[in-house]
Amino acid sequence: MDITLSEDQTLIARTALSFAKSALKAERIRELETSENGFDAAVWRQMVEMGWAGAVFPAEYGGSDFSLFELALIVAALGQGAVPSPVFSTVVEAGLLLLDAGSPAQRSHWLPRIADGRSIMTTAIVEPGGGLLPEEIRTRVAQTGSSFRVSGTKLFVRDAGVAEVIVCLGRSGENPADLTLVLIPADTVGVRRRRLWAAGGEALWEVIFDEVTVATEAVVGRPGQAWPHVERLLLRGAALKSAELVGIGQAALDLTVEYAKTRVQFGRPIGSFQGVQHHCTEMYRDLTVSRLLAWQAAARLGAGRPADREVAMAKAKTGEAIPALTRTAHQIHGAIAYYRDYPLEIYYHRAIAAAAAYGDAGHHRRGLARLLHEDIARFQGDHRHELPVHYV
């Protein structure tokens, strides 16, 4: 057991943080929050050049064979620097979905294009009626001869404004899990998009597929067998949003501690007051626990081990604790941070956006409650003890 970063991992985290902190000025971050595409193309190009777009892909596709854990370190740094990027849409969602479910032809076509920055891709899973559970999917994917016809409305589609292709999940049969993934070029006739304007500025879209027709080669994985792949996508998303939340929390804590050390009232820095010190320690406590849970989730997923319990715990904790941390941060700052030219508000908004993505805290607690009902041993996890005999 060694719950510390290796030298290589420390280097990755440091490099990513120093990039993330200097990549964008605060005014540019705010400008991007209201821009159609949400991220800075030049910054994304720099990230691609550093190898981050293909980091988790195998070398044969132009990647660096990093695990999801290393990507989590990078994502946490991007969260801390408030750097928007298409890393979730293109890598965490579409790229790794193709690696997981795609045909050899799909992988060797698309993954190198992601790794070298030529293509931005995304996935369309969630709908107005939900989408974290298979029975909630209503979008139809009907096979008609040598083509598929796709109809339905998708929400919260990341980076749909610039994505070259959208991998869409739809229902291909009446069984709850009878779902199919198809790869749809974004410029196909019948694809319509509307930008959603969410706190934190992430480029989320409504995408309507209106009788869209694609060839049968567009199917990703086996027809009717999509859900296990989507489940893994959602787990990856939740684990990496937990990591992003840890970065957001660290930024908010750093700003707060710095402010508490330098803001003088009643003739003393406010950080010398016990009331303020206790708040700061609570923030630091929750952040530390959040980070350990997020590390565990990403490390298990990265090692290809069952991680539903660990991911749910990480997202349930970070999804509540980090937004709460940003509220306390504002409380300590007072009015100054209520003004938009003070950087804290960036994190205040991003925390709720990240908390809502890939299942909020309640969703993940519900999953854990289901596990508790069905399989107590798995609920207790790999490190469980054996209760002494007189309790059983």
Partner 1 sequence: MNLDLTPEEAAFRAEVRAFLERELTPDVWRAHRDLSEQGMWTADFTKAFRRKLGAAGYIGMGWPREYGGGGRSRVYQAIFWDEMEYHRAPGLDRSITYVPSALLALGSEEQKKRLLPGVMRGELSWFVGYSEPEAGSDLANLKTRAVEDGDDFIITGQKSFSSEAHMADYGWVAVRTDPAMSKHRGLSLFIVDMKSPGVVITKHPTLAGWTHHAVYFDQVRVPRSMMVGELHEGWKVVMGAIDFERAALASHGLIGFQLDRLLAWCGKERDGAPRRLDDPLVRDELVRLAIEGEGARLMTYWLASLHARGLMPQHETSLAVLVKRETARRFDVAGLDLLGAFGPLRAGSPWAPLDGEVEVEYRDRLYFQFAAGGFDITRNVVAQRGLGLPR
Q: Give the footprint of partner 1 on this chain (CB under 8 A).
A: 1-6, 9, 69, 257, 260-261, 268-269, 271-272, 274, 276-278, 280-282, 284-285, 288-289, 292-293, 295-296, 299-300, 313, 316-317, 365, 368-369, 372-373, 376, 379-392
Nearer to partner 1, 175 or 277 (CB): 277
**Tokens found for residue 146:** 């040598």
Pick 11 or 26: Cβ nearer partner 1: 11
In angstroms, give the least distance from the CB of 291 to partner 1: 9
CB 333, min distance to partner 1, A: 15
Fill in the amino acid letter for 96.
L
Q: Could you tell me which residues are beta bridge partners of residue 121?
A: 165
Residue 67 contacts by C-beta under 8 Å, 6 or more apart in sequence? 56, 299, 302, 303
Question: What minimum distance in Å lies between the beta carbon of 285 and partner 1?
Answer: 6
Measured from the CB atom, the residue of 223 and 323 that comes closer to partner 1 is 323
291 or 350, CB closer to partner 1?
A: 291
Q: Which is nearer to partner 1, 261 or 340 (CB)?
A: 261
Closest residue by Cα to residue 184 from 154, 228, 224? 154
Closest contact distance (angstroms) between CB of 292 and partner 1 is: 4
Phi, psi of 214 (to 5 degrees): -130, 155
Beta strand pairing call for 121-124 and 165-171:
parallel
Q: For residues 294 and 73, what is the distance between their CA atoms, to the nearest angstrom? A: 10
Please, what is the minimum distance in Å from the beta carbon of residue 387 to partner 1?
5
Pick the closest to residue 81 from 250, 294, 321, 261 (CA basis): 250
CA atoms within 13 A of residue 344's CA, in its CB half-sphere: 24
Nearer residue to partner 1 within complex by CB, 21 or 366 = 366
Contact indicator for 11, 57 with CB cutoff of 8 Å: no
The minimum distance between CB 274 and partner 1, in angstroms, equals: 6
φ and ψ at 215, to 5 degrees?
A: -70, 160
| Nearest CB to partner 1, comparing residues 261 and 327 | 261
- Least distance from C-beta 229 to partner 1, angstroms? 25
Task: List the Cα angle 236/237/243 in 5-degree steps.
Answer: 90
- 9 vs 153 by CB, closer to partner 1: 9
CB closer to partner 1 out of 104 and 388: 388
Q: DSSP alpha helices (H): ranges in 303-343?
A: 308-333
Give me 292's structure tokens: 């350990």
* Closest separation in Å from C-beta 64 to partner 1: 17
Q: Cβ 145 to partner 1, closest distance in Å? A: 47
Instruction: Report how far apart, in Å, the C-alpha atoms of 168 and of each of 3, 150, 207 are.
Output: 38, 9, 10
Tell me the β-bridge partners of 130. Answer: 127
In angstroms, what CA-CA distances link 202 with 117, 133, 337, 353, 356? Answer: 19, 23, 21, 8, 12
Residue 102: how many other CB atoms lie within 10 Å: 24
